[in-house]
Structure 1
Amino acid sequence: MRNPSGKTVHLPPTTVLVLAYALLIVLGAALLLLPEASVHGVTLSEALFTATSAVTVTGLVVLDTGGDFTLFGQAVILVLIQFGGLGIVTFSVVVLCMLGLPISLEHKLFLRDELNQTSMRDLLKMALVILRVVLVFEAVGLAALICVFVPEFGWSHGLWQALFHAVSAFNNAGFGLFSDSLSRWVDNPLVNLVVPLLILVGGIGFSVLTDLRDSRSWDRLSLHSKLTLAGTAGLIIWSVVTFAAIEWNNPATLGSLAGWGEKLMASSFQALTTRTAGFNTLDIGQIEDASALMFILLMLIGGGSASTAGGIKVTTFVVMLLATLAYFRRRDYPTAFHRRLDGEEVMKVLALISLSLMLVLAAAFVLAQTQDLPFLELMFEVASAFGTVGLSMGVTGELDGFGRAVIIALMFIGRVGPLALGLLLATRVPPRVRYPEGRIFLG
């Protein structure tokens, strides 16, 4: 980039990524403001909120996507979801590879930051793998959902709805064309299988998918892949069992369903989609407080690194547990799968979790002071925005302009990463003096 004086300004990759996402949001909001994009017109606040939610693949809405936006407006939202989920830099590098054009070192640096990698080895191969995975799974999801939507709505509307929900599900966006999300298909086996599967694959992490394709056995997987897969499996089992136990007899949720098979199917769907995507087949506003607290924790954890999901990521949560366990076992470092985690990784986890909690609690405090709404519902909204999930207990549309601005900021931070924004504000200066160690008392 060049400044007004003509001098070249070198921006770090993280800064360029943040600016690229911000520019895409502004462009998306401008398109949604066009008369052709909406049925009755939208305000600047509504357009900006919708564009931010789409680019950050969150799914929180202040308007009915299927009712208030035209086909053109829905298409704009879908494109924003695809760019936001796949990643602007990833998409551009894939296009350059397909055209046979050389990839500069700067592009590789941007791609490394976009995919949350520590080295540039095999980045281009991973980018191409990402494109193949996206096309294959979105096509499979489209074909499966056609069997649900086309018989009910006809070929034209059914095909578009199948495409929209397949792309939204794989990108963990949670946008839907129905005001009640997917509640009318709470007992449909195909919807309850396909949508969570798309969400799970899109949210597991592209580096893990690449590793699974190359390794083909558990022993040859990297430590990152093992931690991600084990942590994801543990969270799924815990969330499904706990949600079913809490809501089994709740007449407003699982208690309204007839058989135990439908209850287990609904429990599995809701627990699987809560960490990363905002689809629901039950009324989230009617869940028990205990379920709401569990959902808040799941949304803050999120999905895998280098995926379409948000949150602090599964590996961050697992490393925190391992470090805590190592301390109580009086070990100098945490271990997992016969590998040692060094202190730098633990410090990074500590910084990420601390910064995330401070942001979430600060936003919850501000909203509690400015919005006349129940605190639990506001906290749920904050966690959903920061984790780019999109679930809501029904308060999104009740927020005033300031409340919407807070949620927009949280969605943006949750997508680009709190640690990345923290690095933008920090200047790394090597210490001139090395001080002696000191001791403090804890606990």
Structure 2
Amino acid sequence: MQSMIRRKYNLTYAKLSAIGFFAIIFIGAVLLSLPISSKSGEVTPFINALFTATSATGVTGLVVYDTYSYFSVFGQSVILVLIKIGGLGFMIIATMFLLILKKKIGIRERNFLKESVNTIHIGGVVRLAKHILVGTLLLEGIGAIILAIKFSSEMGVKEGIFNGIFHSVSAFNNAGFDLMGRYEEYSSLIRYSDDALVNITIMTLIVIGGIGFLVWEDIYKNKAKFKKYHLHSKIVLLATMVLIFSAAIGFYVLERNNLFADMGIKETILASLFQAITPRTAGFNTIDTAELSEGSKLLTMILMFIGGSSGSTAGGIKTTTFIITILSVVSLVRHSNDLNIFGRRLEDSILKRAYSIITIYITSAFIGMLFISFIQPELALSNTAFEVLSAMGTVGLSTGITRQLNALSRLMVIILMFCGRLGSLAVLMAVAESKNNISTKKPLEKIVIG
């Protein structure tokens, strides 16, 4: 029966993923548009509800309403559930229900699950899904307890616990939604810019959520024995460390006479590190993004473009893709035919996939920029580019123009967030994938490059 349904509807993983996320977003949008979801009891315009649902499910964080000020506890809870589903992926959620109901997980489901978590082997994929579920709940729980203790002293126990859970889940899933509108609308975590406990907790959750499920599994199995890690984990951890510390130094240099001018040493260090981590791809901010220098905005856009790691809650082209392109340049300069790292050679086909991802990503971003610039020419191009890359990278940082976007521009951002969460290559494959490829080679001829 399953094979017959599969033949009839041609449901590859890419198509199933696109349909699944669309269904979740649509249901979320309907719920958020209901009067019960807003504090005023009014019906939320569907385009804005759709924008919020896409941003939450796509773990982006761009908002047209301040989450605390506009949405009721019911609406905030819907957003929280959407973040959780979007961060884990609906295939892992589906597997959780199958395990609870003690249903058999077949080969087809295991294959879909393998693609969902971006693992290489189908063997042990169900065990990996269990570890992901348990690990996620454990880490989010620890983060929620720490933040709840902090927030309870300011907001009261009930509000403190809910805020602790909300911000822990949002940080771990790299979503960037916050409930700090109680102090000032759209202020994110600026209030806590010098609070080491909040900063370190949020940054740790973001980084752990952004390195990917496969790296977790490697660390769980091999502990601190780095030499035993898979090549994927080694590349991810190296790239993550280099990007965090080099970006932190970059932000310090660029902002030391601007936003950091009146800060103490502790606050400057925290702000530099936080600003280096949040664009990949969390969306929280402890300083006013709109007031960043032009150099810092450019550095932020570069980090949003790179994003987190494969098989994680983060977006962007991914750290492994970025490293592969760097290796290809090094290989070309050295006149080498191989891509080598950590004493291993990478397969040739991976470079083609990496460049395909980057090309589709850049093309989509330029289309988004051109579309919004045509629809709303009054918006500065730098702000439009920042918004588009933030949507594509599922980041959620903004220079403040999100609320200025009209319906058509918001629709474009919705599409970009959707593509960013699924992966632009996955979306293109879902639309253009064909099962009837004829494996014939055309005559070979050379062209000039460069």
Using the size of structure 2 for normalisation, the TM-score is 0.94
**In structure 1, how many angstroms separate the alpha carbons of the residues matched to 2:149 and 2:257?**
32
Contact 1:310 1:415 in 2 (8 A): yes
Q: Deviations over 1:99-136 (max 9, x none)?
A: 43210222112212211233312111110111111111
Partner of 2:141: 139
- Structure 1 position 348 matched with structure 2 position 350: no
Per the alignment, residue 183 of structure 2 pairs with none
Q: Is the contact between residue 307 and residue 319 of structure 2 (CA under 8 Å) also seen in structure 1?
A: yes
Is the CA contact 2:210–2:280 (under 8 Å) kept in the aligned structure 1? Answer: no
State whether structure 2 residue 209 is matched by structure 1 residue 199. no
After superposition, the Cα gap between the structure-2 partners of 1:11 and 1:156, relative to the gap in structure 1 and judged at 3 Å, is same
CA offset at residue 435 of structure 1? Answer: 3.2
CA contact (8 A) 1:59 1:278 kept: yes
Q: Is the 8 A contact 2:251 2:276 kept in 1?
A: yes
Any idea what SS the aligned residue of 2:284 has?
A: coil
Quote the Cα distance in structure 2 between the aligned partners of 1:263 and 1:52.
34
Task: Pick one of 256, 260, 277 that aligns with 2:262.
Answer: 256
1:177-216 matched pairs, under 5 angstroms: 177-178=179-180, 179-216=186-223
Aligned to 1:228: 236
Matches within 5 A, 1:22-421: 22-40=22-40, 41=42, 42-178=44-180, 179-216=186-223, 217-250=225-258, 253-257=259-263, 259-371=264-376, 372-421=378-427
- SS where residue 118 of structure 1 aligns? coil
SS at match of 1:255: coil
In structure 2, C-alpha distance between the alignment counterparts of 1:433 and 1:99, rounded to whole Å? 47
- The more displaced of 172-181 and 86-95 is 86-95
One-letter code aligned to 1:11:
L
Q: Give how far 1:202 is off.
A: 0.6
Q: Secondary structure at the match of 1:254?
A: coil
Displacement after TM superposition at 1:93 (Å): 0.6
Cα separation, 1, equivalents of 2:240 and 2:433: 32
1:442 to 443, 446, 449: 449
Q: How many Å separate the matches in 2 of 1:74 and 1:433?
A: 54
User: 1:211 touches 1:225 (CA, 8 Å); kept in 2?
Assistant: yes
Cα deviation, 1:27-65, whole Å, max 9, x if unaligned, reads 001111111110233111110000000000000000010
Calculate the aligned-residue CA RMSD, in Å: 1.6
Question: In the TM superposition, what whole-angstrom CA distance separates every residue of 1:126-170 from its partner, at most 9, and x where no partner exists?
Answer: 101111111111111011101221000111111111111011001
- Stretches of structure 1 that go unaligned for 5 or more consecutive residues are none
Deviation at 1:8, TM superposition (A): 4.3
Cα distance in structure 2, aligned partners of 1:48 and 1:406: 12
Q: 1:428 to 1:319 in 2, by over 3 A?
A: farther
Assess if the C-alpha contact under 8 Å between 1:150 and 1:159 holds in 2. yes
Return the offset for 1:438: 1.7
How many angstroms does 1:432 deviate by? 6.1
How far has the Cα of 1:262 moved from its partner?
1.3
Q: Distance in 1 between matches of 2:86 and 2:165?
A: 17
Deviations 1:276-322 (A, max 9, x none): 10000100000011111111110111101111001111000001101
SS of the residue corresponding to residue 226 of structure 2 reads coil
Q: Distance in 1 between matches of 2:149 and 2:78?
A: 25
Deviation at 1:428, TM superposition (A): 5.5
CA contact (8 A) 1:14 1:110 kept: no
- Most deviating of 354-363 and 8-17: 8-17
2:14 is aligned with what amino acid?
A: T
Q: 1:243: how far off? A: 0.4
Classify the secondary structure of the residue corresponding to 1:380.
Answer: helix
Partners of 1:170 and 1:381 lie apart in 2 by 22
Paired residue type of 1:333: D
Mean Cα displacement is larger for which, 421-430 or 124-133?
Answer: 421-430
Whole-angstrom CA distance in 2 between matches of 1:29 and 1:421: 21
- Offset, 1:248: 0.9
Residues 61 and 395 in structure 2, CA contact (< 8 A), matched pair in contact too: yes
Q: How far 1:94 moved relative to its partner?
A: 2.2
- Once the two structures are superposed, residues 338-377 of structure 1 have per-residue CA deviations (whole angstroms, 9 ceiling, x without a partner) of 1101210111101111111111111111112211201101
Amino acid at match of 1:135: L
CA contact (8 A) 1:274 1:389 kept: yes
> Alpha-carbon deviation of 1:434?
2.9
Amino acid at match of 1:88: F
Question: Can you give the 5+ residue segments of structure 2 that lack an aligned partner in the other structure?
Answer: 181-185
Report the Cα distance in structure 1 between the residues aligned to 2:49 and 2:438, rounded to whole angstroms: 46
The alpha-carbon deviation at position 437 of structure 1 amounts to 2.5
Tell me which moved more, 52-61 or 341-350.
341-350
Partners of 1:360 and 1:386 within 8 A in 2: yes
Q: Is the Cα contact below 8 Å between 1:17 and 1:110 reproduced in 2?
A: no
CA distance in 1, matches of 2:261, 2:416: 34
TM-score, scaled relative to structure 1:
0.96
